[in-house]
Structure 1
C-alpha cells in the first residue's frame, strides 16, 4: 500500500513546497516591483532561431502558487478517494501533466508555448473526463475536447497572424501596436479562444458534461486550471481589449452566461452539476468585469474563487463517496448530525461563494458589484449582475436545505461516517485558505485601497438580494410545507430553464443530428445502394453467372463436347466460305 501511495506523497510534498516557494518569491517581487523575462535559444539554424521564453512577475507567481497548492491538496485527497483504483499512479501522473500544462500556460509570454500548454490542457482533460470509461464519459469527453478544439484553432490562427511582426512574444506588441489591423484580428481571436476555454455562451454545454470525470479532477479543473485558462489569457492581453467593440458583446454574453447558469443550478438535482453550474456563473462574472477593463478585479476573484470552489467539490466528493456513488440530492438529508466536519467545510465554502462578509468570496464579489454600481452601464447589464448574485444565494441555500435540513430519503440502514482523515486534512487546508485568502490578497495585490462611496440603498442592494435569495431558496426547497415547488417543476418553462436554455441540444444534438442523418442517408443510398450494385454486389453477380456458365463446359459431358466440336466445325466452314 505504501508503494502504491508513494507517488501521491512525493507529488503532494513537492507541489506544496513549490507553492510555498512561489508565495515568498511573489512577496519579494511585489515589494521590489520586479519582472523577470528569461529567454534562451533552443535551436539556431541559418537565420531561424527558436527561443523559449519565461515571464516571472507577481501575477504569474501568485497564480502558480494557487495552482500548485490546490493540486497538491487534490493529490493528497485522491489517495483516499481513489484508493480502490488499481492504476492510481497513472491517475496521479495525468493530474501532474495537467498541472504542468497549466504552469506552462501561466509563465509563457510566447504564443507558441501558450499553445503547448493550452493544447496540453485540452488533451489531458479529455483523458481525465473519459477516465471511468463508460458511454456517458466518452460522450462528455468528446464534447469537452471538440469544444476546446475551437479555441485551439483560433490560437493557431493567432500564431499565423503574429508572423507579420517577426516574433511570437506578444508582450512586445501590446502597447504600441494597439490600433494595428493585425492586432485587432489577433485580439478578436484571443477573445473567441478564451470564450471556448472558459465556457461562455454559446460554448457552455461542455462544462457540466465534464462532471463525468472523477471528483478530484473536477476540484482541480473547475477551480484553478482548465476553465480559468481563458480568463487568465484575457488578463494578459487586457491592454489590447479595452476599447474593442467586441468587448461589449463579450460583456453581454458573459452576463447572460452568469444569469443562465444561476437559473439552471436551481433546477438541477445532480450534486456535482449544481457546483459546475455555479463555476460557470462565477466565470461569467470574471469575464464580464474583465470586459469592462478591470483585469485586476477579475484576477482577484479568480484566485479567491479557486479556493472555495475546490473545497466545495471535495466536500461533494466525500458525500458521493459515502452515498456509494449516488449524486442525486433528493436522496440526501440531515447530514449535519452524521458528518459534522464535512458539513462545516461545505457550509463555509457555500457562504464564501455567496459573498457572506469577511470570507474569501466577499472581498472580490462586493468590490466587483460596487464597481458595477459605480460604472456607466445600462439597466439590463445591471440587472444581470445583481439578479445573478441573488440566484447564487438561492441555489446555495437550496443545496443546504436538501443536504442538511430536509429528511434523509435513502435506506435507514445506511452507514454515514466522518472519519476519513486523509480527506478531512486536505479539506481543512482549503478551509483555512477559504477564510483568509480574500483579505490576504486584498492587502497584497492592490497597491492602493479601493474605497467606493455609493448611496445607502445601492450599497445595501447586495444584502437585499441575498435575503431575497435566502427566502426563495427556503420556500422552494421545503417541499413538505409548500406546494410552490411542484408548481415550478411542472411548469412548461422549467424544461427551458433546467436545460441551460437548450444549449446542450443546440451545440451537440442540434449540430450532430443533421450530419449524422445525412451520413445515414448516404450510407443507405450510396454505400449500400448504387455503389454496391455497380461495384461489389454487381461484380459478384456477374462473376457468379459466368462461373456457372463456364462450369458447364468444365464438366465431362459428351453432349457438350460434341456440340462444341460441331459448333467449331460450322464456324470453320463459314470462315472458308467467306
Structure 2
C-alpha cells in the first residue's frame, strides 16, 4: 500500500514540476518570439550520422505543459480509483509510457521521430484498452489498434515521399509545399491525422476504447491520443492545399454532427462523453480546415481541461455506484455527491460554451469565425445543429444522472469521501473556469474583428438555449417520446449507432484482411521469400563460403602439389 501511494504521489509531483517549467519556457518563447531547435548527434558511422532533432517553441512547450498537468492530475486520481487493483504498478508504468510517447510526438519536427511517439501511443493505448482482460476489452483493443494502423502506414508512406525533399525535418519545408506540390504526401498526412483523431470513416474505435479504465479515458480524450492528429495537422497546416481542405472540412463537420446525434440516443455514461470528444475534435479540425490553426490550438487546450474534468467526475460516479455505467440506473446523485456533481456541471457548462467559462472563449469564437468565413449552407447547417445537439445531450445527461429520482434502490452508501479523487477535480475545475480567459489574452493579444449581422451573432446563443430545453424537456416527457420514437425505429437505430460505422468497421473487413495476411504469411513470407529472398540468398552464400573454406584449408597445398607434379610431367613429356 505504501508503494502504491508513493508511486502516484511521486509521479504527480514529478509531472507538475516539469509542467511548470514548460509553462514558464512557453511564456518566455511567446513574449520573446523565439524558437529553439536542438539537434543531438547520437551516432556517426563513416559518413552517415543519426541525429535526434527537437523543437521548443511556444506551441510545443505550452501543449507539453498542459499534457503534463493533466497527466499529473490523472495519475494522482488513479491512486484512489485504482486502489486495490492487483496490477496497479503495471497500470502506472503504462500511463507514464503513454505520456512519454505524447511528449516525443509534441517536440518532434521530424517525421521519423514523430513515428516513435505516434507508434508508441498506438501500442500503449492497445495495452491500456485491454487492461481489463475480458472479451469485450479484447475486441475493443483490436478495433483500436487496427484502425490506428491505417494512420501508421500513412505516416510510413509519407516518410518515403518526404525523402524527395532531402530531409525529414518537415517543419522547415511546410511553407514551400504549397499548392499541389507533394499532394500525395499531404493526403497521407491528413489520412493519418483523421485515423488518430477518429474522424469519419474511422470513428468507430473511439467509443470502443472506453473499455479502458476511466483514468485512461480522461487522459486519452483530453490531451493525448486523439489530439495527436489535430496537433500534427496544426504543424502541417501551412502546407495543406486548397484541394484537401474542403474535403477535410466536410468530413470533420459530418463527424461533429454524427457524434452529437449519436450521443442523444446513448445511455452509457462514458460513451456519451466519448462521443462528446468526437464532436469537439470535429470542431477543431473544421476550423483548422478553414485556415485558423491558432483557434484550433486554442480550443485544443481549453477542451483538454474540461474534458479531463468531465471524465474524472464520471469516473467518481461510476466508482461510487459500484461500476454501473447506465445513466438510467443513476439519478439524484447531487444529494449524495454534491462536490462531484458541482464539478461535473461546471465541465458540462464549459462544454456547452456557457459565457465566461473556458469553452465559451474558444468555441464561441470558432463558431463566429466559421459563420464569417466562406462556407456553404451544408456546413453552416452542420455547425448549427451540432452546437444544438451538444447542449441537448449535455442537459439530457444532467437530467438522467444528477437530478430526478434516485434509481439505485439499496445503494445508499454514496458520498464524496475520497480526497485523492476530489482534489484533482478541484484543480481542473479552476482550469475550466480560468483557462479560457487567460489563454485568449496570451494567444490573441490582438482581438479578432468579427462582423456579423444581429441574427448570426445571436444564433449560437439561441440554438444553445433551444438545445438545452429540448434535452431536458423531451427527457422529462420520456414516456411519450419513447413511444413516438417507435414509429421511426429504423431512423432511431441509424442515428444512435453512429451511422452503422462500428458495424461497417468490423464486418468482414477485419476477417478478410486477417485471412489475406495469413495467406501472404504462408505463401510469401514463409514460402517464396524463404527460397528466393533473404533466406535463400543467405543459404546460397553460406554454401559458397563453405566450399571456399574447404579450398582455403590445408587441402589446397596438396592440390597445388599434385597440380605442379602434373605440370612438370606434361612439360617433361613434351620435351
Q: CA deviation at 1:322?
A: 0.7
Counterpart of 1:526 in structure 2 is none
CA distances 1:148-183 after superposition (whole Å, capped 9, x unpaired): 0000000000111111122110122112243463x2
- Residue 49 of structure 1 and its aligned partner are, at CA, apart by 1.5
Aligned to 2:568: none
Aligned to 1:60: 60
How much does 1:490 deviate? 5.9
The match for 1:387 among 385, 389, 399 is 385
Find out whether 1:194 has 2:193 as its counterpart.
yes
Deviations 1:277-296 (A, max 9, x none): 00000001111111111100
- Equivalent residue for 1:253? 251
- Report the Cα distance in structure 2 between the residues aligned to 1:156 and 1:58, rounded to whole angstroms: 28
CA distance in 2, matches of 1:475, 1:427: 29
Whether contact under 8 Å (2:176, 2:239) holds in the other structure is: no
| Greater shift in the superposed pair: 85-94 or 272-281 | 85-94
Q: Which of 342, 350, 354 does residue 356 from structure 1 map onto?
A: 354
Does residue 461 of the first structure (1) align with residue 459 of the second (2)?
yes
Distance 1:41 1:517 in 2: 43
- Quote the Cα distance in structure 1 between the aligned partners of 2:247 and 2:180: 21
Specify the alignment match of 1:483 in structure 2: 480
2:4, 2:79 within 8 Å by CA — same for their partners in 1? no
Worse-matched range after superposition: 46-55 or 420-429? 46-55
The structure with the larger Rg is 1
1:208 aligns with 2:207: yes
Partner Cα separation in structure 1 for residue 411 and residue 54 of structure 2 = 57
Q: CA deviation at 1:516?
A: 8.2
Secondary structure (helix, strand or coil) at the match of 2:37 reads strand
Task: Check conservation: 1:477, 1:485, Cα contact below 8 A.
Answer: no
Query: After the TM superposition, which residues 130-529 of structure 1 pair with which residues of structure 2 at under 5 Å, given as runs?
Result: 130-179=130-179, 181=181, 183-241=182-240, 243-479=241-477, 483-488=480-485, 491-492=488-489, 493-512=491-510
* Change beyond 3 A, Cα 1:216–1:490: farther
2:486 & 2:196 partners in 1: Cα distance? 32
Once residues 149 and 490 of structure 1 are traced to their aligned partners in structure 2, the CA distance between those partners, rounded to angstroms, is 40
Relative to structure 1, is the Cα distance of residues 414 and 346 closer, same or farther in structure 2, using a 3 angstrom cutoff?
A: same
Q: How many residues align?
A: 518
Cα contact 2:195–2:202 (8 A) shared by 1: yes
Q: CA deviation at 1:451?
A: 3.0
Report the CA distance between 1:189 and its aligned residue. 0.7
- Tell me the residue number matched to 2:29: 29
Asked whether the 8 Å contact 2:131–2:137 carries over to 1, the reply is: yes
Query: Which 10-residue stretch deviates more, 446-455 or 369-378?
Result: 446-455
Distance (Å, rounded) in 1 between the aligned partners of 2:101 and 2:110: 14
Instruction: Give the TM-score of the pair, scaled to structure 1.
Output: 0.87
Q: CA deviation at 1:373?
A: 1.2
The offset of 1:306, in angstroms, is: 0.3
- CA 514–491 in structure 1, closer or farther in 2 if over 3 Å, else same: farther
8 Å Cα contact 1:476/1:485 also seen in 2: no
| 1:520-545 Cα shifts (integer Å, max 9, x gaps) | 9x9xxxxxxxxxxxxxxxxxxxxxxx
User: C-alpha distance in 1, partners of 2:304/2:486?
Assistant: 32
2:5 touches 2:79 (CA, 8 Å); kept in 1?
yes
Give 1:386 shift: 1.0
Taking a change above 3 Å as real, the CA distance of residues 447 and 46 of structure 1, as seen in their structure-2 partners, is farther
Query: Which ranges in structure 1 are unaligned for 5 or more consecutive residues?
Result: 523-578
CA drift of 1:518 comes to 10
Q: Distance in 1 between matches of 2:310 and 2:252?
A: 23
Q: Hey, what's the Cα distance between the residues in 1 that align with 2:208 and 2:140?
A: 5
State the alpha-carbon separation in 2 of the partners of residues 4 and 71 from structure 1.
17
Aligned 8 A contact 1:406 1:478 in 2: no
1:47 CA drift (Å): 2.3
- 2:572 is matched with none
The ranges of structure 1 where at least 4 consecutive aligned residues each deviate by more than 4 angstroms after the TM superposition are 513-520
Tell which deviates more after alignment, 490-499 or 369-378.
490-499
CA distance in 2, matches of 1:163, 1:119: 20
In structure 2, the partner of 1:47 is 47
Per-residue CA deviations over 1:363-409 (Å, capped at 9, x if unaligned) read: 01110111111111111100101110000000000000001222122
Alignment deviations for residues 272-325 of structure 1 (CA, whole Å, 9 cap, x no partner): 000000000000111111111110000000000000000000000000001111
TM-align CA RMSD: 1.7
- For the residues of structure 2 that align with 1:377 and 1:420, how far apart are their CA atoms? 49
1:534 equivalent in structure 2: none
Sort the Cα spacing of 1:470 and 1:105 in 2 relative to 1 into closer, same or farther, 3 A: same
More divergent stretch after superposition (110-119 vs 453-462)? 453-462
**Shift of residue 517 of structure 1?**
9.7
Change (3 A) 1:471 1:23: same
**Structure 2 residue 129 is matched with structure 1 residue 108:** no
Task: Please say if residues 363 and 442 of structure 1, whose CA atoms lie closer than 8 Å, have aligned partners that are also in contact.
Answer: yes
Cα pair distance change 1:151/1:10, threshold 3 Å: same
Contact 2:475 2:481 in 1 (8 A): no
- SS where residue 453 of structure 1 aligns? coil
What is the SS of the residue equivalent to 2:164? coil
Contact 1:26 1:58 in 2 (8 A): yes
Distance in 1 of aligned mates of 2:159 and 2:172: 15
Q: Do the aligned partners of residues 81 and 126 (structure 1) sit closer, same or farther apart at CA in structure 2, a change above 3 Å counting? A: same
Deviation at 1:35, TM superposition (A): 0.3
Secondary structure of the residue aligned to 1:502 is: helix
Gap runs ≥5 in structure 2? 520-575
> Partner of 2:537 in structure 1?
none
Task: Tell me the distance in 1 between the aligned counterparts of 2:487 and 2:279.
Answer: 25
Q: Is the 8 A contact 2:37 2:56 kept in 1?
A: yes
